Amino acid sequence: MSGRILLTGVTGQVGGELAAALAPLGAVVAPGHTELDLADADSVREMIRAVKPRWIVNPAAYTAVDKAESEPELAYAINRDAVRVMGEEARELRAGVIHFSTDYVFAGVGMEPYVETDATGPLGVYGASKLAGEEALAETGAAHMIFRTSWVYGATGKNFLRTILKAARERDRLRVVADQYGAPTWSRDLAKLTAHGIAQIERRAAEGDLPEATEGFGGIYHAAGAGETTWFGFASEAIQRLREREPEATLAEVEAITTAEYPTPAKRPQNSRLSCEKLAASFGWRMMDWQESLREVMAEL
């Protein structure tokens, strides 16, 4: 593939993994937050015009779910307006956009895994702003793929696993919500999927027109870890593995609680299950089982 890849959010969980995964595909240009402020739409436009990428890969987002309730303007500027500009500029350049979204676009009702065409219904500002970003990107008509994921974690960055393992060493007892269902997703698996998706489309394009090569592949895909658990299940499994590795360590006991016992400013979906069948059918890609990825991530900690 010839052409540059403009990568946002390189300091984030997924962005850090993407920098490594995308490097074999082309020259990755990855400006940090200070060089590219996504809250400033003009600077996003200028950056894209300067770099002239063949792909824009955008894992950056306003991800502070609770804080978003009191900062909706900033959340929408980053999660919607910047994404719209990426789409507009990509359309002009005949470039492709890979964007990331979330299970929080859904209301989280029922027990079944959500499919891509299910009705959305975000419960808070973060989810609503991410949904608005999906819609804004689609409206531009740019060649794009959106990977909706859930419960992202890895060996680096700010995430549930790292928080829980640290707390397990420091406290006697941890109370963890046991009535929200979903699947932990390894940031590296998402990065590998992205590289796979780009490579697949580039093979079709054979250095030719990218929007044409994306036809039939564009749109939304659910991309979450395989299997399912609860936050309690995830925490228990991680602490159990730590116990096996460090039998002499004093680690917290985990207590299952309900969502009602752990009130937060933003409401969370109870059902975050995402069906990834479309991803398998279109790209031949199966996301890693969360227990398998947990083993790999913990080996890196």
Ligand X SMILES: NC(=O)c1ccc[n+]([C@@H]2O[C@H](COP(=O)([O-])OP(=O)(O)OC[C@H]3O[C@@H](n4cnc5c(N)ncnc54)[C@H](OP(=O)(O)O)[C@@H]3O)[C@@H](O)[C@H]2O)c1
CB of 73 to ligand X, least distance (A): 12
Whether 126 is catalytic? yes
- Binding residues for ligand X, total number by CB under 6 A: 26
Considering only residues 129-168, where is the footprint of ligand X by CB under 6 A?
130, 149-152, 157
Please state, in angstroms and rounded to a whole number, the distance separating the CA atoms of residues 118 and 103. 12
What is the DSSP code (8-state) at residue 107? Answer: -
- Which of positions 180-209 make contact with ligand X (CB under 6 A)? none
**Based on CB atoms, which residue is closest to ligand X, 213 or 276?**
276
Which CB, 132 or 213, lies closer to ligand X? 132
Show the site string, 27-66: x = touches ligand X by CB under 6 A, - = not. ------x--xxxx-------------------xxxxx---
Cα 275 → chain centroid: 15
**Closest alpha carbon to 80 in 152, 149, 138, 35:** 138
Measured from the CB atom, the residue of 50 and 249 that comes closer to ligand X is 50
**114 is a contact residue toward ligand X (CB under 6 A):** no
Give me the catalytic one of 104, 126, 153, 221. 126
Residue 122 binds to ligand X (criterion: CB under 6 A): no
- Report the length, in residues, of the chain: 301
Q: How many CA atoms lie within 13 A of 251 on its CB side?
A: 21
Pairing between β-strand 152-153 and β-strand 185-186 as defined by DSSP bridges: parallel
Q: Which residues of 271-297 are buried (b: 16+ CB within 10 A; e: fewer)?
A: bbbbebebbeeebebebbebbebbeeb
Distance of alpha carbon 114 from alpha carbon 117, whole angstroms: 8
CA 182 to chain centre: 14
| Cα Rg of the chain (Å, integer) | 19
Q: x/- site string to ligand X, residues 74 to 103, per CB under 6 A?
A: ----x---------------------x-x-
Enumerate the active-site residues: 126
Binding-site ranges for ligand X (CB under 6 A): 8-9, 11-15, 33, 36-39, 59-63, 78, 100, 102, 130, 149-152, 157
